[in-house]
Chain A
């Protein structure tokens, strides 16, 4: 596989390109869903070549035609247009952290016991239906660049997502994420999903208004994911972020510190970014103040700063996010919610204006009415309608324990999320 990466870079440079990057990924992932099991054996070379500031990216799948495909990419680049914002790729070589991969995960060939453990736990809590998927992610990466980078990474992790239903409108969701087989706890995810489902029986239509909200880690992960995604410098330049011109400004309450760290132990861990720059800890928001955007070499030059090691092929992205834990216990978070809601999950987060941050998202699974910290009712059919900056500024307390979450369509990036208490969050509902 190193050969493929080497050949792409060498060929592009021989054909006159100034910069070239090739990342060959070997995917041996395996998945179990309730109805079907899937297995992949794929090799993909992600290539990035630059001819006189003309940038072309590609994914090459047919390695038998590799030379011809690179020749074609160079031809396309020569016919393309200059990108004046292109400022090169990082200069290597770099030293990387020690490789960290659990052989027990790589060697796992059957995950059905994990699925069974999660399902049984959910059923034991009172669920009568479950759905979900189990993943063994197993990817090797061989990176070469024309600027002296030679990198190897092996990324392997286990993931399980389970939704439990106690009746058609009473559901709960749980996820389990681990980079070490010994720390993988699908049973806990099943218990959580089942417990919420059982508690969410007989929901009534909710009411519109302003409410204090306890965010469960899964839905809070979605909000953290929005911060990480909107903090990408490319996203800011495209008009897709409320964080433009807000470096050094207040974008969240003092309680909030958000970090991206691809080098830390998480299922989003990477030794290097797409340019080969070692991943590192970047504080995006520190005690409520926006400290940095996420950069590659080109966006960093535009913003007169240094790359943060977040390069993707075209745009910088977060690798693995976390919200710094608070000092509250989970019980204290609930106790401080005198008259509000506990939201456990959400989906379909959409913006009316990315610049202002006006958005809405639809809570799903258990939605609970809270009074004096206790669940006093179960709701359904509501929508969180507010402004992203306002919601973050309204965060009052965070729990000292965090969960690692990632979820289909909402929490794209691996994220460590605590329980959070927010004040006066807008809730709407369908009109009669």
Chain B
């Protein structure tokens, strides 16, 4: 770790230079990752990324600067730059931050098996083992691609209001991409799982079983899959599909910076406006939460990157638009308080409004119970292709693992089922929410310029949707 006194110095110096508010965030991230492609260890990556980012408010303008040279001279230069460009903004509508209490604390994520104690060769062997099991299956898997990453993030945050927060966050990810071939036809999948904690992650997430089960389901789809039926019918979706819908058509449109147009040129705007709070967007059974405090969720944090305490946010509650994700800047504009949603992907980018662990809150239905109530429809367990427009209103999720439901029973696999619905149509059709909850699908959520790909967990309970158009 670098000399952390420099972080305090940066804030004090910014105040001396005329900043009305200043914050400095030092980060040291170690990233160990490797790619195993078709049984070959393509490359091992080990990086240490460290430096300081300083954000200031001066004369109503906002300036940010970053350096990885932790010397007093360079930190002074950086602060000079940040204050100068903030003042140069000459804003007609000065930027302000919603009030917050100063916080002095340390927090960290516990690890059962410390990442730093597990040699990289052991980590590689674990993935080799999964790869060997795949190769032992009696069908063709011509492309097998794994990327395993272990990140350890130390942070020290200081602001001019007296906050001083140190944190340590270890994160484990496994991404895999498989191609299964059968009689000249192919099925492809990619999955991304994540965990805040130590090397116990792969066991806890049962990764060996998941990968093998998925490969078998792909072969099953190729061998027995039928064309998915087209028309209006009932649909049961698994946690992975609930999770992507929670993230894309609830989490993103309720980001306050997007609602206010700050992302308009990149990640877009939102069909939701500040006046939409309280409006119906789904059936009364729909609760979608974003909760950074979920233990072991890949996006776990106790305090955000503006020093605000994290808490659960009900974005859609009882089917109504309930709350936006806010940082201090958007909260000041909308006359509310931050709910601790500010995050940055590294020291060298500003903290902006981000989702953390976003999910459909479970209720009390069993999966079989939901399926038994369907006369004719589809059970979509996972998806492959997906996208959504920049106002987050028109989404598409194309099935990877999906089955026909007839007379309350799961039948043969169906291929490439397409859900292409508007956000209110999708959420409005929900008539049952399961008690199963899974929040370990890990996305890289993209936003901002320069782009910040950030850890985000997607999950939830299974759901049943009535009478929706599928093809």
Chain A residues near B (Cβ < 8 Å): 31, 33-44, 54-63, 69, 72-73, 76-77, 79-85, 110, 112, 129, 131-133, 161-163, 165, 168-169, 171, 173, 237-240, 313-314, 347-356, 358-362, 364, 381, 383, 408-409, 428-432
Contact = CB atoms under 8 A, between A and B. Distances in A.
Interface string B117-145: 00111001000000000000000001101
A80 B268 CA distance: 43
Centre residue among B48, B82, B395, B416 by max chain A CB count within 10 A: B48
A361 B422 CA distance: 16
B265 A162 contact: yes
Contacts of A238: 37, 143, 145, 177
A313 to B, nearest CB: 8
B65 A314 contact: no
Interface in B290-324: none
A360 B387 contact: yes
Given A76-B44, A131-B261, A360-B385, A36 B179 contact: no
Contacts of B179: 239, 355
Nearest to B264: A131
Contacts of B241: none
Contacts of A79: 119-121
A407 to B, nearest CB: 9
Given A162-B265, A239-B177, A353 B44 contact: no
Contacts of B450: 31, 38
Interface string B27-65: 000000011011011111111111100010000011111
B453 to A, nearest CB: 10
A229 to B, nearest CB: 15
Closest 3 CB pairs of A and B: A239-B143, A431-B469, A348-B387
Contact of A84 (B40, B61, B186): B40
Interface in B369-383: none
Interface centre among A73, A161, A356, A408 (most CB of B within 10 A): A408
Contacts of A314: 35, 42-43, 45
Contacts of B82: 39
B176 to A, nearest CB: 11
Contacts, number: 236
Interface string B185-205: 011100000000000000000
B104 interface: no
B262 A83 contact: no
B425 A80 contact: no
A80 B120 contact: yes
Contacts of A350: 385-387
B406 interface: no
Contacts of B391: 169
A408 B68 contact: no
Nearest to B143: A239
A62 B265 contact: no
A133 B68 contact: no
B388 interface: yes
A353 to B, nearest CB: 5
Nearest to A173: B265
A80 B263 CA distance: 42
B265 A131 contact: yes
A57 B35 CA distance: 11
A37 B86 contact: yes
A156 B376 CA distance: 60
Contacts of A77: 44
Contact of A431 (B49, B62, B265, B425): B425
A363 to B, nearest CB: 9
B74 A41 contact: yes
Nearest to B51: A61
A201 to B, nearest CB: 16
Contacts of A409: 266-267, 446, 451
A61 B422 CA distance: 45
Contacts of A428: 396, 420
B390 interface: yes
A343 B145 CA distance: 35
B334 interface: no
Nearest to A382: B394
Contacts of B160: none
Contacts of B416: 352
A161 B265 contact: yes
Given A38-B350, A39-B63, 11 more contacts: A38-B63, A54-B41, A55-B43, A58-B47, A76-B120, A82-B41, A83-B41, A238-B37, A352-B384, A408-B266, A430-B393
Nearest to B426: A430
Contacts of A43: 68-69
Contact of B394 (A59, A82, A430): A430
